[in-house]
Amino acid sequence: MLREELQNKIKSIELSYLFAKNLKHGINETGDWKLFEPSRFIYSFFAFNMIYEINWELTFSKKRLWDHRGLKTHTKIYYLLNFLYYDDEVEDFYLSYKEFGVIRNLIKNAQFINSDPNINSINRCSELEEKNSFLKNYLNAINKLENDNFWQTEHYHLLALTYQIRNNIFHGYKTVGMMTLKEQRERLIDYTNIILTTLEQFFDLISKKYNYSRADKYELTENIKIEF
């Protein structure tokens, strides 16, 4: 069994995940409310950030939280995938994704990604044997997903590009106007679903392997306070 302190910390992260999973945020344009997908993407990434900052192998072996020290973000994400895929009990990405979106849409929308210097830059993660651009790696991973040849490295490449998209949003390369365009919104849904799928795989795995007790929806409701 997990120590109570560790159980509670993981539960708080899962509640952040459930909040992002169930979030529907709209914006008012000329009197009409429309869903604003970037909000869900950002909240999903908050939860994802809390996951990849932790060294889970050491955390579970030492029974206390153990952060990554001195590693770059892309390496932390790679190590998170190491943790997930080391165990045969990890839920298949293809099957898990179906809870959040449609695989064929993910594959189709990848064809229309607009390149920019950020996603065309080279991913220099120390764990990668080949150093290619984030976009090229993402497209290769999508091709392998379509051809049922998808595993840890391909999953990592989906997340690596998603992190670059996060940087575009946080650093202002993508304006609000750009993010309300139909094709941009559809791809943001894809990126959000990639993150949510990864989070679901994580919580599913530790519930099986470490007897973690999953959060219930009522716990999410109790932790959300609406102020007027």
Residue 11 has a pLDDT of 95
Please tell me the predicted confidence (pLDDT) of residue 218. 66
**What's the confidence (pLDDT) of residue 59?**
95
Residue type, 213: S
Which residue, 123, 129, 153, is CA-closest to 141? Answer: 153
Mean pLDDT of 1-8: 86
pLDDT in tens, 166-208: 998 876 555 555 555 667 788 999 999 999 999 999 999 999 9
Average pLDDT value for residue range 51-74: 94
pLDDT of residue 185: 82
Using the predicted structure, report yes or no on whether residue 31 has a pLDDT greater than 60.
no
pLDDT top residue among 41 and 158: 158
pLDDT tens digits, one per residue of 141-152: 999 999 999 999
- pLDDT tier, 226 (very low <50, low <70, confident <90, very high otherwise): very low
| DSSP code string of 175-223 | -HHHHTSHHHHHHHHHHHHHHHHHHHHHHHHHHHHS---PPPHHHHHHT
Please report, for the chain, the start and end positions of each structural domain, with discontinuous segments joined by +.
4-219
- Written as one letter, the residue type at 24 is K
Residue with tokens 């795989």: 201
**pTM for this model (two decimals):** 0.89
- Give the rounded distance of the alpha carbon of 158 from its chain centre: 9
| Contact between residue 14 and residue 203 where contact means Cβ atoms under 8 Å apart | yes
Q: How confident is the model at residue 18, as a pLDDT? A: 92
Environment class of 116 (CB within 10 Å of its CB; exposed 0-12, middle 13-18, buried 19+): middle
Give the mean pLDDT of the chain. 87
